[in-house]
Amino acid sequence: MMVPVRCFTCGSVVAEHWEEFEERARDGDEDPAVVLDELGVDRYCCRRMLVSHTDLVDVVSPYQ
């Protein structure tokens, strides 16, 4: 799995929020916007990066 380390637009570190966001928002239990608000991610570019990130490692390299 590839973790987004920095926001592509502003360069802010987003890796510290990735695991909690992934656990809470991707399961569909909570609204992603509410999770990002609680994590303190305020900038639009960082929020967009976390919401739109897709792990492609399993798709690109199916043989481990």
Q: What is the mean pLDDT of the chain?
A: 83
Asked whether 5 and 15 are in contact (CB, 8 A), the reply is yes
Confidence band for 18, pLDDT divided at 50, 70 and 90: confident
* Residue 11 Cα to chain centre, angstroms: 14
Report the pLDDT value the prediction gives residue 53, as an integer from 0 to 100.
Answer: 80
Provide the percentage of residues in the chain whose pLDDT is more than 90.
25
- Kindly tell me the sign of the dihedral angle through the C-alpha atoms of 23, 36, 41, 60: positive
Q: Give the residue-averaged pLDDT of 33-54.
A: 90
Among the listed residues 46, 36, 40, 42, the one whose alpha carbon sits nearest the alpha carbon of residue 4: 46
- Whether residue 5 is predicted with pLDDT greater than 60 in this model: the reply is yes
CA–CA gap between residue 16 and residue 5 (Å, rounded): 8
Those residues whose C-beta lies under 8 Å from the C-beta of residue 61, and which sit 6 or more positions away, are none
- Whether residue 1 is predicted with pLDDT greater than 70 in this model: the reply is no
Report the pLDDT value the prediction gives residue 64, as an integer from 0 to 100.
Answer: 62
